[in-house]
C-alpha cells in the first residue's frame, strides 16, 4: 500500500474527530483553529474542466493545526500510536523547528496523542517533547513512555466535543503561560 492511502488510514479518524471538535469550538466562540492542508504541487492541469491531472504531495513545513484560543496563540499536531509509548520518529525535525519558532514568538505548541490500544488521549506539551528529543539525540530513548504523560493533561470526550482538548489546554496554560489577554 502506498504513501497516500496509508497516511490517510493512519491519521484520518483521529484528525476527523479533532476537526469536528474545532468546528464546534468555532461555532461556540471558544476557539478559532485552522487545519493546514498538505500542500500539493500541481504539474499538469486541465483549465477548462478546472481539474488537476497530475501532481504530488509536498512536505508540510509546519504542523497540522494553528490558531487562537481566547487570546492564546496555539499550534499543534495530532498523532496516534498503537504502542505503549510515543515514538519520537512520529515528529519530523521541521515540525519541531516550527514549534520552537512559534514558542519563541510567544505561542504555545503541543501534540495531541491518541494511544489507540488504551483509547486514551493526552496533550503532550512541546517543552516535554523538546526535552525527550534532545535526550534521544544524545543517546537517550527514542520514544516517550506512557508514564511520562501527565494525567492532568488527559483529554476526554464530552457531548459533541469528540476530542475536548480545551480543558487540558487550560491546565497546560495555567502551568506554563507566557501570553495573556489584557
Site for its own copies in 54-83 (CB under 8 A): 54-57, 61-62, 66-73
Q: Is 97 helix (H, G, I), strand (E, B) or coil?
A: helix
Dihedral sign for Cα atoms in the order 176, 123, 66, 163:
negative
Q: Contact, 17 vs 35, CB < 8 A? A: no
Cell of 106: 510567544
Using CA atoms of 40, 4, 86, 123 in order, give the dihedral in degrees to the nearest 10. 50
Question: Site mask, its own copies, residues 10-49, x = CB under 8 A?
Answer: ----------------x--x-xx-x-xxxxx-x--xxxx-
The answer to the question of residue 96 lying near its own copies (CB under 8 A) is: no
Residues 6+ apart with CB under 8 A from 101: none
Q: To the nearest whole angstrom, how small is the minimum distance from the Cβ of residue 9 to its own copies?
A: 12
The answer to the question of residue 134 lying near its own copies (CB under 8 A) is: no
The answer to the question of residue 170 lying near its own copies (CB under 8 A) is: no
Residue of the chain from 13, 106, 152, 160 that contacts its own copies (CB under 8 A): 106
Residue of the chain from 14, 76, 86, 102 that contacts its own copies (CB under 8 A): 102
Give the total residue count for the chain.
182
DSSP code, position 33: E
Cα(75)–Cα(68) distance, integer angstroms = 8
Q: Contact, 70 vs 31, CB < 8 A? A: yes
Please, which residue, 71 or 160, has the CB nearer to its own copies?
Answer: 71
Residue of the chain from 9, 13, 83, 101 that contacts its own copies (CB under 8 A): 101
Please, which residue, 31 or 163, has the CB nearer to its own copies?
Answer: 31
- The binding site for its own copies (CB under 8 A) comprises 1-5, 26, 29, 31-32, 34, 36-40, 42, 45-48, 50-57, 61-62, 66-73, 98, 101-102, 104-107, 178-182
Amino acid at each position: 500500500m502506498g504513501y497516500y492511502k496509508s497516511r490517510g488510514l493512519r491519521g484520518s479518524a483521529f484528525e476527523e474527530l479533532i476537526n469536528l471538535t474545532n468546528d464546534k469550538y468555532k461555532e461556540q466562540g471558544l476557539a478559532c483553529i485552522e487545519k493546514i492542508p498538505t500542500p500539493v504541487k500541481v504539474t499538469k492541469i486541465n483549465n477548462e474542466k478546472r481539474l488537476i491531472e497530475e501532481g504530488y504531495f509536498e512536505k508540510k513545513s509546519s504542523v497540522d493545526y494553528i490558531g487562537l484560543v481566547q487570546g492564546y496563540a496555539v499550534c499543534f499536531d495530532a498523532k496516534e500510536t498503537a504502542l505503549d509509548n510515543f515514538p519520537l520518529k512520529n515528529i519530523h525535525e521541521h515540525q519541531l523547528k516550527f514549534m520552537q519558532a512559534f514558542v519563541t514568538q510567544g505561542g504555545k505548541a503541543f501534540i495531541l496523542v491518541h494511544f489507540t490500544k488504551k483509547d486514551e488521549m493526552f496533550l503532550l506539551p512541546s517543552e516535554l517533547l523538546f526535552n525527550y528529543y534532545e535526550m534521544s539525540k544524545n543517546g537517550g530513548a527514542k520514544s516517550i513512555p506512557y508514564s511520562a504523560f501527565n494525567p492532568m493533561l488527559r483529554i476526554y470526550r464530552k457531548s459533541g466535543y469528540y476530542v475536548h482538548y480545551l480543558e487540558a489546554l487550560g491546565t497546560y496554560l495555567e502551568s506554563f503561560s507566557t501570553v495573556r489577554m489584557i
